[in-house]
Structure 1
Amino acid sequence: MSPEPVSVSVSAAPGGRRTGRPPLTERRKAATRLEIAREAVRLFTAQGVAATSAEEIAEAAGVSVRTLWRYFPSKESCVLPLLTAGTELTARCLRAWSAELGLADVVRGLRHGDILTEEGAIDVPTMVALVRLTQNEPGLRAVWLQAHEAAEPVFAELVAERSGGSVDDLPVRVRAAMINVALRVAIEHYARHAHAQDTPEGVYEAVAEALLTVSAGLPD
């Protein structure tokens, strides 16, 4: 059964929006959602999506089925917190994109920063295992593509702020789409071709290389 449409939250930046540490209740909810996602991936990997029930995921995560359905509209969408990690990372990268720097400079500078080790960094082994599953599980593939579709307007807003354009401008939308596709392809490429232990550095290098590849088409 195909998953229901999912709502993806990828936070942007200024304009009065909160960018600091979220309240404790929100952090607890995020932690619960992430634990559900991890257990869903573990079960999906072990026995397949079709053979895994929402009840099994809830029991493994230590929550009630009612709680699971409160957070997610379908069992496939339980994996969403892991799939949005890469878009959140890219959004944080773009927020650091000052008028004085091109995107290539931002990416190179962040290579040696603490973005991979700070609180909320990507759970790389589980995320990569999930992206591998999306290649053969249509329901998970749909959630993966929905996550990127929902993230693209956020990238457009950030590109518009940087370039002084509007989110409705065609060049802005194209540049946002370039970022979005580069991110998806980079993570899928890493998931397919990584042979050593999955690491945050490996994933970030793949994302950085993809962003640097498209940076020539973005405003300096």
Structure 2
Amino acid sequence: MTAARGRTGRPPLTEERKAEIRLEIARAAVELFVAQGVSATTGEQIGQAVGVSARTVWRYFPSKESCVSPLFSEGIDLIAALLREWAPDQPLEELFERTLATEIGIISGPERATVGDLVRLTRTEPGLRAVWLQTYDEAEPAFAHALAERAGLPRDGFEPAIRAAMFNAALRAAVEHHAWHGAARGTDRATDRATAETELMQTLRSALAVAADGVK
């Protein structure tokens, strides 16, 4: 009788490592899309930029456009948590003013300037536009549940769903408006980034102030 063979090969990846790989692929895809366009970018190129095979890229994402989804969806949990903490007498725009410009999904981390370019691409690239809109579609139930919990209403109630839809639309409209109509970039990238973040904050505050009347 032969002894049972032990498991060979590399150990399975942890969920944390899988998430890191997804984010690495997303960042590489964004840089390639911005530099050379979506149609000219291949799965092989995205994989090479990360140091993995194209097969690995397709294991994590069904299409090259969907590779960017982790960057779009990073901030959903943060926003939902902040909505739960929103005090009844606190203006909505004040709750978010210290966190929206530096923490939320598409504008978080060192790649936020590049991802701003990606949002601009969603205006002309149907595949990216579909991923962008899907992100907001997936975020809406999370926002509705947070608003329901805050108000002591049923999670699947009609009223929180309407409020979440208004809030969600305000966020998307503000980010798109800033990406498509914000200040033009010059040669001083540090100055440009500071200016862009200030303008984004002002746009978000304005959008949330308008939406607050319907989200209360």
Q: Normalising by structure 1, report the TM-score.
A: 0.76
Aligned to 1:12: none
Aligned to 1:183: 171
Matched, 1:157 2:167: no
Superposed, 1:7-156 pairs within 5 Å as 25-98=14-87, 100-102=88-90, 104=91, 107-112=93-98, 116=102, 121-122=108-109, 123-156=111-144
Matched, 1:193 2:181: yes
Unaligned runs of 5+ in 2: 1-12, 186-191
Aligned residues: 192
Q: Distance in 2 between matches of 1:137 and 1:29?
A: 27
Structure of higher CA gyration radius: 2
Secondary structure at the counterpart of residue 59 of structure 1? helix
Contact 1:86 1:183 (8 Å CA) reproduced: no
1:69-124 alpha-carbon deviations (Å, 9 max, x no partner): 222111110000111245445324313224x444x2x5314434698379x94432
CA deviation after TM superposition for structure 1 residue 150, in Å: 0.8
CA deviation after TM superposition for structure 1 residue 47, in Å: 2.1
Unaligned runs of 5+ in 1: 1-23
Bigger shift: residues 64-73 or 109-118:
109-118
> What is the aligned-residue RMSD (CA, Å)?
2.7
Contact 1:182 1:214 (8 Å CA) reproduced: yes
Matched letter for residue 68 of structure 1 = V
- The percent identity for this pair of structures is 47
1:2-59 alpha-carbon deviations (Å, 9 max, x no partner): xxxxxxxxxxxxxxxxxxxxxx944433332222112111211222212211111111
Note closer, same or farther for the CA distance 1:68–1:200 as it changes in structure 2 (3 Å cut): farther
Secondary structure at the counterpart of residue 166 of structure 1? coil
Note closer, same or farther for the CA distance 1:87–1:203 as it changes in structure 2 (3 Å cut): farther
Which aligned segments of 4 or more residues in structure 1 are displaced greater than 6 angstroms?
A: none
Q: Which has the higher helix share?
A: 2
| Larger relative contact order (CA 8 Å, sep ≥ 6) | 1
Contact 2:85 2:150 (8 Å CA) reproduced: no
Matched, 1:213 2:210: yes
Matched letter for residue 94 of structure 2 = R
Contact 1:76 1:139 (8 Å CA) reproduced: yes
